[in-house]
Amino acid sequence: MEHNLTPRDIMSMDEYGLIRKKRAKTLAELKKNRRVEVGPTCTFYFENFDTMWFQIHEMLFIEKGGKEQISGELKAYNPLIPKGKELVATVMIEVADPKRRAILLSKLGGFERTISLLINEETINALPEIDIDRTTADGKASSVQFLRFPFNEKQIAAFSSKKAELVLTITHPEYHHMAGIPKSVHEALIKDFDYN
């Protein structure tokens, strides 16, 4: 299983432009089984090599930074590819109305440190990306969070069981919700581990 994209994985933008619509359609199908809604406004998008391949190509295609842009995009997005003993998620707080969104985010400071995954009776706490502070000094949360769930081999085995009960939880005082991980998502995420 590949855990990092390299410059060799990047197509020319002329070539990418020819397959862009087809890849977007394929990725939309893939993402259906990598998405979990938790509560009314929070969605987890579990990333992998394919989602990051598409994201990097989209950034290069839209921003037109050429070869000089590639290293920056690889540095930004390679950390979001799971490395064999973890799950990685982009978490979006999605509120269409800008005023309502601003009010909610102003109450969600530290949100990224209140997320966990329950596997049967065992809890794995999410770790926020440490290179960027996702809560401002005045306590406002970012609408986009990047989280990883680190596993040991015993936890991977438990997660990989078809009988596993899997629940994502958010325990922030202003946003307290949980959601079971559907079977289709569970089956897709098992493939993110090297040990299954």
Q: How confident is the model over 86-145, as pLDDT tens digits?
A: 999 999 999 999 999 999 999 998 899 999 999 998 999 999 986 655 565 566 888 999
As a three-state string, the secondary structure of 18-77 is: HHHHHHHHHHHHHHHCCEEEECCCEEEEECCHHHHHHHHHHHHHHHCCCHHHHHHHHHHH
Residue (of 160, 172, 163, 147) closest to 196 by Cα position: 160
pLDDT of residue 131: 60
Task: List the beta bridge partners of residue 128.
Answer: 147
pLDDT of residue 78: 93
Given a cut of 60, is residue 174 above it in pLDDT? yes
Mean pLDDT of the chain: 92
pLDDT of residue 196: 44
Given a cut of 60, is residue 57 above it in pLDDT? yes
Rounded Cα distance, 183 and 59, in Å? 32
pLDDT of residue 138: 60
Structure letter (DSSP) for residue 1: -
Rounded Cα distance, 125 and 113, in Å? 8
Rounded Cα distance, 105 and 142, in Å? 7
pLDDT of residue 132: 57
Given a cut of 80, is residue 192 above it in pLDDT? yes
pLDDT of residue 146: 93
Given a cut of 70, is residue 184 above it in pLDDT? yes
Residue (of 177, 111, 97, 115) closest to 142 by Cα position: 111
The owner of tokens 């299954």 is: 196
Rounded Cα distance, 47 and 170, in Å? 19
Given a cut of 90, is residue 185 above it in pLDDT? yes
Rounded Cα distance, 104 and 112, in Å? 14
